[in-house]
Each structure stands twice: as structure tokens, then as C-alpha cells.
Amino acid sequence: MRILVAGWFSFEDMGATAGDIIARDITCQWLDEAAVKWDVADCSKFPFEGGVDWRRANPNDYTDLLFVCGPFGNGWPVTELLQHFSSCRLIGINLSLMESLTAWNPFSLLIERDSSRKNNPDITFGGKPPVTPVAGIILSHKQKEYGKRSLHDAANAAIERLLNTVDVARVMIDTSLLNNHGELRTAGEIESVIAKMDVVITTRLHGTVLSIKNGIPVIPIDPIEGGAKISQQVSALNWPLLFNASSIDEIKLAEAFRYCLTTEARIKARECSSMSVKKIHEIKQDFFQQLFALPKKEFAYGN
């Protein structure tokens, strides 16, 4: 027995989903557990290590064609796939059948997700919990007030290079309320998204502040040569990480990313937040003490 595992990930322009890929991997794991030999029919847009192009594959190399996950009906490109492997038995797993099984049932074995005869839970329930960290990316606009000291492009390029070397789910977060790129409408919505991240990488002061406030480890990159408000704020917060766009050591940047995913970094972020809250309480007390000590001012109206 040798099975070719196919699905919507086997076609170039059919839009495989995360669910398709997870279901594929679960099915392959099941076959491994049963000591069944298998290959995956992949395509250039959804490559699989050791995958094969089903159009070039020899049908005689396989006893079965297994189509996993998604809608399945009697139309192109499914019909082309079935015709190419007409000598193989057809197995379906986790499929939503578009037609009644009484009208069309090409399967030798079918364990459907839903059909005219039965409904089952989607097999992605059988997958392992996700382990990919989620990184909030908060980028500043170019700040013209700093003139030639503004190095935002260099900072953004360094961030992009880092993200291309790590397994991470990036979430772009815009802290501006006017024409927000993520359609976030309030400060509360923005902060709530930041608070759900595993790590934040930012060139914005409030990207740094709101991360530490919510106990989220942050990699602050000051985009101003020589340092400006972000550098000053990191010093005030006593946060151990800070980079400047003029001299980013990319090895240390990668080390900082790994550090931010540790329990130690989470504890440090909470410590910095707690310290800052105490300091703000002192600032509040000082504000009112000085406010009420101000001498009375006589206001004159007119000339």
C-alpha cells in the first residue's frame, strides 16, 4: 500500500487554507502511526518537503489517492485529478461533499466532515496546540522633525530581516487613531491587541510603553540617530533591551528576540511595569502638591 495525499494544497491557484495544511499534516501523522507509506501532492505555492507534482506522478506508483479537507465536488480541478489517478482507489477524509452521495460517490472509503449522510468534527481538532509565537510589529511614521537623524528605513529593514529568520506570526499594530491601518478605533482596542502579544518589536515610544505596561517583553528600536525619546523612556523604565537604527547588531537583535520569549523576560517586564506604576503615583502626588502651592494669579480682562 502506498498513498498519495492530495488536497487544495496540491493546486497552484485554489487557495489552500491553514485548516487544509493542518489536516494534511494530521493525516500524514496517522499514516506514519499505521506504518503506511505515503507521498504528498504539493505545488510551488504550498511546498512540502519531498512532495510530488501530481501531474507528473505515475499513478501506478500508488494504490490509493487520499483527498483531505475542504469542499469536494464533481468539477474541475478535482475531475482532472481523479482522471489522472483513475487506477487508484479514492479515499476522502474531512471533506464537505457538495453533492448528495446518492447522486455521486466515487469513494472506496469516505470519512466525511459533512455529507448527505453524516456530519463529523473537523479533524484539525486532532492537531497539536500552536507553538508559534505572536509578535506585534509597531512601526513609527517618519519623523521629519529629527531631520537627517531620522533612520526609520534602516530600522524597518532590520526588523524585516529579523522576522524573515524566525518562526513567528506577525501582527502589524497601528497606534494612530486617525485612519488606523488595522481599523482599530479606540486607545483601548489598540492596547488590548498589544496586551495579547507574546513579544512586541517597535520603533514607537508608546509601542514600548504599552507593551511594558501590560507585561509584554518588547524590543525597542530607536529610529533616531544618537537616540531620542524612546532611548530616554527605556532608561526611565529600566528595561534591559534597546537598539538604535544607526548601529543595529543583528546577532544581538536575534538574541533579544529569543530572550523576549522566555519566562525571565516576562517577569522582568512585569517588574518594570510595577516600578513605573509606583513612580507615576509619586508623580501624581507631586503634581497636586505643586499645583496647590502655586501663587494666586490675577487675571486681567481687556486693556
Q: What is the pLDDT of residues 8-37, one digit of tens each?
A: 999 998 889 999 999 999 999 999 999 999
Residue 255: what pLDDT? Answer: 97
pLDDT over threshold 80, residue 147: no
Element (H, E) at 91: strand 89-97
First to last CA, the chain: 101
Cα separation of 188 and 190, whole Å? 5
| pTM of the full structure | 0.82
Tally Cβ neighbours within 10 Å of residue 290. Answer: 9
Domains and CATH numbers, the chain: 2-126 (3.40.50), 134-289 (3.40.50.2000)
| 40-78 per-position pLDDT tens digit | 999 999 999 999 999 999 999 999 999 999 999 988 999
| 169-190 per-position pLDDT tens digit | 999 999 999 999 999 999 999 9
Confidence of residue 149 (pLDDT cuts 50, 70, 90): confident
| 98-131 per-position pLDDT tens digit | 999 999 999 999 999 999 999 999 999 998 888 8
